[in-house]
């Protein structure tokens, strides 16, 4: 359901064909929603059937014709209604937390390695969000440039600042996860290791990855 409104928002900023839209969502590492190509084509087809977007044919590559899709008045109204209404939040499905719940059964060194990979991933995202937020405030992302073209100059500041604030959310969430992972590492390294016989104690070969001074 959210993908439909992700598509409508992108097409509202910049009409594009299915190929470019699918590429946007497949490569949307620093955007707030990503989707595989097949889902994007499927959702675009449904939007067209529902009359929420309409294509303007134009010559494509290799002599084939293509169509750039833009919102119809019905599509604009549907998007505005969705944006203006509170929706139930999705149920919690936190894969990192799910894995960490079992760290009491894992040799400390292995758990710490998993947490360090999590920190690296979140730091990479944090760098991307930070750059994307700065680009929005400079009014200098491809999508924002397209969107601003159709808007009166008096509206530009509001548009750029609201969108930049959304990426502040992603920055905050990445920072919270990095901070938490460091605290989890400190906790694991400060606790007594799992005693022999506990789940996860797979014998000396595995136990030897725990810090030796904690075996006492």
| Of 44 and 184, CB closest to a copy of itself | 184
Token readout for 90 is 């999705």
Distance of alpha carbon 22 from alpha carbon 180, whole angstroms? 34
Least distance in Å: CB of 59 to a copy of itself? 29
| Of 140 and 192, CB closest to a copy of itself | 192
Least distance in Å: CB of 25 to a copy of itself? 10
CA angle 98, 90, 17 (to 5 degrees): 110
CA angle 28, 125, 175 (to 5 degrees): 140
| Of 32 and 67, CB closest to a copy of itself | 32
For 158, the enclosing helix (H) or strand (E) is: helix 153-190
| Of 28 and 54, CB closest to a copy of itself | 28
| Of 60 and 124, CB closest to a copy of itself | 124
Least distance in Å: CB of 5 to a copy of itself? 7
Integer CA distances (angstroms), 77 to 4, 80, 100, 138, in order:
14, 5, 43, 29
User: Do residues 137 and 164 lie in contact, with contact meaning Cβ atoms separated by under 8 Å?
Assistant: yes
Least distance in Å: CB of 184 to a copy of itself? 5
């Amino acid at each position: 359901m959210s993908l439909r409104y992700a598509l409508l928002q992108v097409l509202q900023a910049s009409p594009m064909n299915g190929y470019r839209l699918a590429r946007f969502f497949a490569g949307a590492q620093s955007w707030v929603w990503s989707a595989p190509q097949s889902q994007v084509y499927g959702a675009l087809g449904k939007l067209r059937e529902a009359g929420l977007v309409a294509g303007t044919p134009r010559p494509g590559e290799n002599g084939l014709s293509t169509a750039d899709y833009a919102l119809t008045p019905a599509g604009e109204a549907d998007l505005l209604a969705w944006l203006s209404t509170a929706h139930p939040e999705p149920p919690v499905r936190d894969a990192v937390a799910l894995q960490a719940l079992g760290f009491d059964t894992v040799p400390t060194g292995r758990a710490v390695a998993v947490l360090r990979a999590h920190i690296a991933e979140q730091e990479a995202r944090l760098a991307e969000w930070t750059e994307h937020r700065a680009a929005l405030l400079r009014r200098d992302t491809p999508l924002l440039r397209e969107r601003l073209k159709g808007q009166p100059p008096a509206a530009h500041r509001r548009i750029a600042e609201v969108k930049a604030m959304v990426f502040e959310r992603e920055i905050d969430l990445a920072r919270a996860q990095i901070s938490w992972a460091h605290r989890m590492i400190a906790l694991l390294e400060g606790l007594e290791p799992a005693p022999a016989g506990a789940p996860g104690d797979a014998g000396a070969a595995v136990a030897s990855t725990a810090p030796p001074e904690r075996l006492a």
